[in-house]
Chain A
Amino acid sequence: MLNPGLIAFCKRHRVLLCIAFLVVFPLLMPFKAIAVNILIYGLFALGFNLMFGTLGLLSFGHAALFGAGAYACGIAMVHFGLPWWLGIIGGVVGGMAIAAIIGGLAIRTRGIYFAMVTLALSQCVYFAAYQATSLTGGENGLRGVELTRISAFGLSLNFVDPLTRYYVVAAFVALALFVLSRILASPFGAVLEAVRENEARARACGYDVRMTRFVAFVLSGAFCGLAGSLQALHLSIVPIETLYYQTSGLVVMMALLGGMGTFFGPFIGAGVFLLLENLVSLWTVHWQLFVGAAFVCCVLFFPRGIWGTLLMGRAR
């Protein structure tokens, strides 16, 4: 169906195409806030997919990494009065730190146990944040992550303006995409593939499987932490639900919907999910019914996800 010349063109200029897409994207959306949301959850899903798609480990505790990023960024700005960019760095470090703790404990387990252990540990983080009211605001969430103006490189940007806000977030997401593609193309990326494909052989080749998983989990934490801190800046509040296990479920859903075996799949899954949620919630409050149904259909009929199915069709 698609012209092979066009595909070759897309492949050669994929970086440019990505940037072009990120520039045009908000203009295609019904409103800008949803475009920002899609970027943030897309980044979250990509970070998650580093474990699920690339390494084959299903984590049900990624809400903790995302939430840790959001809270670290928020706490740095609200309680310590640090500038926004230190907040973001704090978010990335926070995501990695929680990932190191959860990963360090969970990496001993595999398969379904890994999913369950990460779930339980992330619930620990949730309840800890729930109790630590003075730091996190507890049940009410962490309020007052205000950012109105960004001054960088002699520019002063109005972060309240939706389009400006979008492009600031897009810049971070583009950077993260670049880093992630480097990781996947690196020698470590090859080790990840090897471990996913055959653990015993990877070990016999001389790779430390546990350590590899641990490093991947921490890297995943960096991306999810970045997504979380962008989320905190975008919402100017960190709701406690960010850490709840249903957030983990959400990101699994997005990755699966888009296609977890592909690079862009999770991103596209996040986009489709959020658009669907928005459109359906315009005419019914019971959008969860349709989202659930879409999810069930996806598992039954398109296990490769939207993007994965498209790529398959192209390959044929």
Chain B
Amino acid sequence: MEGITLDLLILQLFTGLALGAIYVLLALGMSLLFGMLTVVNFAHGAFYMLGAYAGIVLLGFGFNFWLCLLFVPLVVGSFGLLCERFLVRRLYGRGIDYPLLLTFGLSYMMVEVVRIVFGTQGMQFDTPDMLVGATDIGIGYFPTYRLFVIGVTFAVLGALWLFLERTPYGLIIRAGARDPQIVRILGIDVARVWLVVFGIGTGLAALAGLLAAPLQGASPEMGNSILAEAFVVTVVGGMGSLVGAVIAGLLVGVVVAMTSLLAPEMAQVSIFALMAVVLLIRPQGFFGRAGLMS
């Protein structure tokens, strides 16, 4: 345990925030899908993985990283729209199990198609030149790219907040999350709203995958393990709660970073242990509505 200084702890805190930022983006999408559509998206990890590969493809076409940040969510989100329109939509009203199982099968297919196209080996994903290196944050040097990930996530959070709070569409989405019946009574085309929500959710997952790719590379299986972690974040935050997703995402990121510094062998267990503890105290998570449990 020696050699652990306060500065090191603070640096690790930032590492945790960067990791947490990825979780936040994933959990936001997941929570949005659950809160609005009561769909538990088991393909969320696969959309995350698609985000990384879509980035590779677009970079191959000569796009730069900044354009990728814009286009990857759009491309993958559009694919998400198609999935909703032709597959998931048929299952609304059939309970929570069927969409879950459908997306589970879907993720199998997506992973395998990526294996066929890009091979089973993982691929390298270079950090964009501008973001290579480290930046002095006062207490020491911190990888610039990780700072960038934190920044992008907060920018996305801000944009999402503005969209939900300040646009008429956001108002409908928020009302719909609270009570779909009301939205329907108001004569709004709920199906279209749900379609858009699915697009946003999967687009956010893709953005998370793109941002994670320079940190860990891209591989067909990259979504598998993070899916379980994203579930934990969503559940800890309270399913359907966007605020919960943000807070739980950052918390889980920091907890993982801290345990991997202090007790590396406990790092992966810590996530699930955290969740078990939270659920024992508050079965619906931080901000979950108890009613959603049934």
Considering the complex, give the chain A residue whose CB is closest to the CB of B269. A127
* Contact between chains at B97 and A292 (CB < 8 Å): no
Please indicate the chain A residues that have their CB under 8 angstroms from the CB of B90 in the complex.
300
- Inter-chain CA distance A124–B104, complex, in Å, is 21
- Inter-chain CA distance A131–B104, complex, in Å, is 28
Partner of B102, one of A109, A288, A300: A300
Judge if A117 is at the interface, Cβ distance under 8 Å. Answer: yes
- Inter-chain CA distance A123–B284, complex, in Å, is 20
Please indicate the chain B residues that have their CB under 8 angstroms from the CB of A124 in the complex.
269, 272-273, 276
Please indicate the chain A residues that have their CB under 8 angstroms from the CB of B42 in the complex.
249
Please indicate the chain A residues that have their CB under 8 angstroms from the CB of B102 in the complex.
296, 299-300
Chain B contact residues (Cβ within 8 angstroms of A): what range? 35 or more
B6-14, B106-114, B159-167, B211-219: which one contacts chain A? B106-114
* Contact between chains at B228 and A292 (CB < 8 Å): no
Judge if A246 is at the interface, Cβ distance under 8 Å. Answer: yes
- Inter-chain CA distance A221–B193, complex, in Å, is 42
Judge if B70 is at the interface, Cβ distance under 8 Å. Answer: no
* Contact between chains at B87 and A300 (CB < 8 Å): yes
Considering the complex, give the chain A residue whose CB is closest to the CB of B94. A303
* Contact between chains at B116 and A249 (CB < 8 Å): no
Instruction: Say what secondary structure dominates the interface of chain B.
Output: helix
* Contact between chains at B239 and A112 (CB < 8 Å): yes
- Inter-chain CA distance A165–B40, complex, in Å, is 41
Q: A120-B272, A286-B116, A288-B108 are in contact. Are A256 and B284 (CB under 8 A)?
A: no
* Contact between chains at A111 and B294 (CB < 8 Å): yes
- Inter-chain CA distance A299–B39, complex, in Å, is 14
Partner of A121, one of B97, B105, B109, B272: B272
List 29 interface pairs A-B (beta carbons < 8 Å), by A numbering.
Answer: A108-B280, A109-B293, A110-B293, A111-B96, A111-B294, A112-B34, A112-B40, A112-B96, A113-B283, A113-B293, A115-B40, A120-B235, A120-B275, A120-B276, A121-B272, A124-B272, A130-B268, A245-B228, A246-B224, A252-B101, A286-B112, A286-B115, A286-B116, A289-B109, A292-B105, A295-B104, A298-B105, A299-B105, A300-B102
Please name the 4 residue pairs, one residue from A and one from B, whose CB atoms are nearest each other, closest first. A292-B108, A295-B105, A292-B109, A289-B112
Give A residues with C-beta under 8 Å from B: 58, 105, 108-113, 115-117, 119-121, 123-124, 127-128, 130-131, 245-246, 249, 252-253, 256, 286, 288-289, 291-296, 298-300, 303
